[in-house]
Structure 1
Amino acid sequence: MPRVKVSVIVPVYNTGKYVDECAPSLLGQSLPADEYEVIYVDDGSTDDTLGRLEKLAAAHPNVQVHTRPNSGWPGAPRNLGMRQAKGEYVQFVDHDDLLGPEAVERLYEHAKRNDADVVLGKMSTNMARPRRLFRHTVGAWTIDNDELMQSLTPHKMFRRPFVEEHGLRFPEGPWFLEDMLFVTAAYLKAARISVLAGYPCYYWMKRDDGGNNTRHRFNPRHGFWPNLRTIVRQIKDGTTPSDDIDALQNRLLHRLYHVEILSRTREPEILRENPAEQRQRFEAAREVAREEFPAAVREGLPAVSRLRAELLERGDFDGAVALAERVRDVTARGLVGEPRWEDGCLVADVTLDLLRGDGEPLVLVERDGKWWLDPELLDGVPGTEDGWEVSDPFRRAHAELVVKDRDREDWWYPEGDPEVRLEPLGEGRSRLVVSGRLRLDPERLAGGRSLQRGVHDVWAHVMLLGVDRMVRVTGDGTQGGPAAGPALTGGRLALPYWTKGKGQLALDLDQRLRRLGPDTNGVVSANTARARRSLGLPYMAAAGGAPLPVEVTVSTLTVEAKLAPGADGTARLRLPARLKLPAGRHPVTLPKADTPVAYAVVRDGSLLRLEGPAYQAGTGRRLRDAVADSRQVRRLRRRLGR
């Protein structure tokens, strides 16, 4: 009997219909069913969840169902699942999430190939912005790479002997941040940590009833602050203290300070919650910050975050509110130059920056040889009357372009990293600008594979001065029209366009929403060349390489044609020599297209020539074609050998 490679552990409680929605993604994995097991642990459900699970187990030999009294939290069920597991690796899944069809097999192979203790699979989600951690597949990291702190949810694969050797367990009962405690402990102990970024392994999606298992909102009654202290001390115990702001311990603690501490001081929370309740959170965060976090963590924050920390630690709640109100209005701007096709890639220059609420650039002011934060941003913030010094404008500054699959919530990273620079604006003022080149390859962007059919939106993530924004990239006032000519990539039409309203850049692959027609520059000018069975399509780009097969419709007949790159990088259409059609001029259309890209002139079942759709045959041409179709003339030509 094959050994069990992976145990998929799923804690459930009053899951109901979501059992049936999640189950197909777990039971339809590409790994053979006898090489992995699915372990459901019911935490004392009071609805029909247990009955649904028992039906699954009866129908699938690799499904186990275990029950336990209600604990109110996923930690105890996960621990029970680990005790029952037989797999070399364990993979945790929440009952309302999904796995990609090849996730278990790919994660296991990546783990074995790299002898990894922990494997992070690419997550697709509508719950959070994309994580730059998943830009590239990684064979072996350790905790020295602090990007790992971007992902502290338990939805990962862990080597079971590694878990047992180090006694890794989730805290049981109502214990807020239980997954963070487990994952940070694993990171600190792991000899090799791998990242699989080329395939969407885990779909972490918002549930329509808002009841997602591990997405409890901040609640101090579940011991949030004591638990956070426990996690901070675990990291401090596993690393070496240092006054260097870039030392490992301070880099790891940065994430906890930035997310768990400063969230109590910034928008939207501090502006959304009841002020009396938020003051209590503010004071609790202040106490933990002052007692648990080294000064180097605060000193290593970028400018706006460091100001928040200053307001927090001196207890200035009103000042934090005032700053949050100002920063809330800061937006990111993403401008893209004229897109074009190069070597099968959609290419465009992109510029990103931050704007104040009044629409003007967020600036730095140079004074006495130092940089100071935009005084307009600080207007009304107590304690900043003399300004706020920016010791390092580039501290933790970065940006990346990302492409979102609108139908599947998958995020992909095109090639290249944009560059952050200071751009002088005159009178001692400068702004931080990010510039780079979008290079979107539809045939390789999805982890080296083709993007799936659908609409793919171009976004940018910007982190400047501690202000974090996601923004769609837009054109220069163009709305609702084509952004570049159509292209053929992998035998499918790729149609770049500007969305209506805001003119944001999107790519429709295989005509999901857009159709090839006059509004997409899909009109071919008159073709004067008389090449047999071949026609240049000057409006369509084509990648280099071998001709690509594509089905076209000639009148009512579907045939396989070829699209080959021409000498100038455009596409050239070639049809078969024989066509079972009556004599005449027949429209040629590409799949799902409404507008002909060419006309095929057919005689005696043979393709005489291809003409562009804008070609207007004159009377002489029509007469010549009619004469050519005369049987007597054809017999005479055959006799003469012409």
Structure 2
Amino acid sequence: MNGGTSSSPKVSVVVPAYNCGSHMEKLVDSLLRQSMPAAQFEAVFVDDGSTDDTPARLDALAAAHPHFRVVHIENSGWPSRPRNVGVAHSRGEYVMFVDDDDWLGDEALERMYDCAVTHGADVLIGRMAGHGRGVPRELFRRNRFDATLANSPLIDSLTCHKMFRRAFLDEHDLRFPEEWPRRLEDHRMVVRAYLLSKKTCVLSDYTCYHHTRRDNGGNVTARLLDPTEYYAALRESLDIVDAHVEPGPLRDRLYRRWLRHQMLDRLRGRRMLDAPPEWIEQVAAEIRDILRERFGPGVAAGLPPTYRVVAHFAEGGRMADLRRFAGWEAATTAAARVERCALDGATLNLTVAGWLESDGRPVAVRRSDDRDLLVLPVEDVPPDLRDVTAALDRGRLDVVARRQGSNDEVFLPADTTSERVAGPHGTSHAVYRAAVAVDFRTVNGGRTAGTWRLKVRVNSAGWVRDVPLPLLVRCAADGAPPRLLDENAFFPRLRRAVRQRVPVGLAAFLTSGRRGG
């Protein structure tokens, strides 16, 4: 082991590393920028038998920074053992797991630790931003200082990139499984932690963790998924739930997390269409078996309508219908129009409407026996599965501000309504409307410096689709008065200005390209 400090730190950051090379530079830089003093935390890198220059890079870092330490182990081929070794060598009151190609917000450790200590948390989850990969959304709508699996969408966040009280990990022997199956190792550890935790907190007012996907797909856990191993691991996650949660609505709701994300999502849209046919047949067979063996009727019945349809096809082995439905879903997008937009001082006033489309046409329903039935491209789907009446009423339109560069995302407070709009041949479709009135200087806790792209998120009937708006909000500094840029108005003005100021031929050349090209 290289490096080390003398006193016990507040936080130990445990990082499994394998052939990461320069990919870990963002993480290292973020650790060196932490607002928590270096004497109060340590970074424990566990090199999992790297074969490139990673060991030398880590040793050099440990030599240069006393609060960085390195442990070298033989290659295990998976993050579980490096993480467990990192915990064994850590000395902090709390342990934070970070992957070698992700990075932390500058104040992440200080804010997370202070929140955990203030509320006596066994588990602390900091808001995440995704860079080329998805992160939980609903969980981070607000701070949650007493979150449980019953009162919040904790189950949406099963990666290990969280802060855990070290004594809590030791008390319950919470470690990552190293034996076969290795897949979903973080799910099995984290769901046990949620079920055993006396206090779990969610810190949503600061982006603590930046979750990224390497351009070459080389994340530590990026491996070809073997359906047999993967779904054996999923069954073990269900076994953990069974051991702690009695049969009933809560257990069914927890089951739905794996049913949606690890099972049915693989049989939807481009994800299914782009997969090798033989492989997707194996996946579908595993899903069919779990549906039949493990899930009662209440599990799938609680899904949004489109998921219920996919589950129905999967359980029945209807591969051709799954493919037809996936092709239709792959063309499903969100559409939106800005109905009002103005900046009154620092207050952004915005009204926007949004709806779902497939292949350029609104996703339609047809009224039958006082129910709205989804119009599908597949025959022989029971009306109860196509019934979206309640789902359309529960649907919503969120307005989201996303900061360029950092990818911080915040929900803007909005009043939402919905209506049915008549279409051709006796059909209709749902249109959602959101009205925003917010002092932009207060957005993101007042940390507003930068350029924010506004977009809308349509959430209806099991689909969640984003569509960017042609609106940018720019703040010169935190809390500074914002400036609003409407790209639809800006580019025509730019073209007119160019034509007025340069010769005709050159103006035509400068303004003839595609916008933004």
Do the aligned residues in 2 keep the contact of 1:486 with 1:496 (CA within 8 Å)?
no
Q: Offset of 1:11 from its aligned partner?
A: 0.6
Match of 1:467 in 2: 463
Equivalents in 2 of 1:237, 1:353: separation in Å? 42
Q: What amino acid does structure 1 have at the position aligned with 2:463? A: V
Q: What amino acid does structure 2 have at the position aligned with 1:163? A: L
Structure 1 unaligned spans of 5+: 476-482, 504-513, 520-642
Task: Note closer, same or farther for the CA distance 1:129–1:2 as it changes in structure 2 (3 Å cut).
Answer: closer
Equivalents in 2 of 1:199, 1:121: separation in Å? 7
- 1:301-351 alpha-carbon deviations (Å, 9 max, x no partner): 121111111111011000111111122222211212231123522111111
Q: Offset of 1:449 from its aligned partner?
A: 1.3
- 1:525-583 alpha-carbon deviations (Å, 9 max, x no partner): xxxxxxxxxxxxxxxxxxxxxxxxxxxxxxxxxxxxxxxxxxxxxxxxxxxxxxxxxxx
Match of 1:158 in 2: 164
What secondary structure is seen at the aligned counterpart in 2 of 1:171? coil
Match of 1:618 in 2: none
Match of 2:501 in 1: none
* Larger Rg over CA atoms: 1
Task: Note closer, same or farther for the CA distance 1:494–1:216 as it changes in structure 2 (3 Å cut).
Answer: farther
What secondary structure is seen at the aligned counterpart in 2 of 1:409? coil
TM-score normalized by the length of structure 1: 0.71
Structure 2 unaligned spans of 5+: 1-5, 499-517
Equivalents in 2 of 1:441, 1:217: separation in Å? 47
Match of 1:44 in 2: 49
Match of 1:627 in 2: none
Do the aligned residues in 1 keep the contact of 2:310 with 2:322 (CA within 8 Å)?
yes
Equivalents in 2 of 1:129, 1:462: separation in Å? 17
Task: Note closer, same or farther for the CA distance 1:121–1:165 as it changes in structure 2 (3 Å cut).
Answer: same
Equivalents in 1 of 2:307, 2:169: separation in Å? 36
Higher helix share: 2
Instruction: Identify which of 213, 217, 225 aligns with 1:218.
Output: 225
Map of 1:226-375 to 2, 5 A cutoff?
226-242=232-248, 247-342=249-344, 344-357=346-359, 359-374=360-375
Instruction: Identify which of 479, 485, 488 aligns with 1:496.
Output: 485
Do the aligned residues in 1 keep the contact of 2:470 with 2:486 (CA within 8 Å)?
no
Identical amino acids, percent of aligned pairs: 34
Do the aligned residues in 2 keep the contact of 1:43 with 1:77 (CA within 8 Å)?
yes
- Aligned CA RMSD, in angstroms, stands at 2.9
Match of 1:445 in 2: 443
Q: What amino acid does structure 2 have at the position aligned with 1:468? A: V
Q: Offset of 1:2 from its aligned partner?
A: 5.5
Q: What amino acid does structure 1 have at the position aligned with 2:398? A: E
Task: Note closer, same or farther for the CA distance 1:17–1:327 as it changes in structure 2 (3 Å cut).
Answer: closer
Q: What amino acid does structure 2 have at the position aligned with 1:207? A: R
Moved more, 389-398 or 295-304: 389-398
Instruction: Identify which of 381, 401, 404 aligns with 1:406.
Output: 404
Equivalents in 1 of 2:482, 2:316: separation in Å? 59
Match of 1:53 in 2: 58
State the structure with bigger RCO (CA 8 A, min sep 6), 1 or 2.
2
Map of 1:59-208 to 2, 5 A cutoff?
59-126=64-131, 127-128=133-134, 131-172=137-178, 175-208=182-215
Do the aligned residues in 2 keep the contact of 1:123 with 1:203 (CA within 8 Å)?
yes
Q: What amino acid does structure 2 have at the position aligned with 1:233? A: D
> Aligned residue pairs: how many?
489
- 1:584-603 alpha-carbon deviations (Å, 9 max, x no partner): xxxxxxxxxxxxxxxxxxxx
Equivalents in 1 of 2:320, 2:175: separation in Å? 41
Task: Note closer, same or farther for the CA distance 1:37–1:394 as it changes in structure 2 (3 Å cut).
Answer: same
Equivalents in 2 of 1:518, 1:201: separation in Å? 43
- 1:461-501 alpha-carbon deviations (Å, 9 max, x no partner): 222111221111358xxxxxxx9999999555513222599
TM-score normalized by the length of structure 2: 0.87
Equivalents in 2 of 1:397, 1:235: separation in Å? 29
Equivalents in 2 of 1:166, 1:71: separation in Å? 24
Match of 1:523 in 2: none
Equivalents in 2 of 1:334, 1:490: separation in Å? 29
What secondary structure is seen at the aligned counterpart in 2 of 1:226? helix
Do the aligned residues in 2 keep the contact of 1:88 with 1:161 (CA within 8 Å)?
yes
Equivalents in 1 of 2:475, 2:58: separation in Å? 49
Do the aligned residues in 1 keep the contact of 2:9 with 2:41 (CA within 8 Å)?
yes
What secondary structure is seen at the aligned counterpart in 1 of 2:340? coil
Q: Offset of 1:363 from its aligned partner?
A: 2.3
Do the aligned residues in 2 keep the contact of 1:331 with 1:356 (CA within 8 Å)?
yes
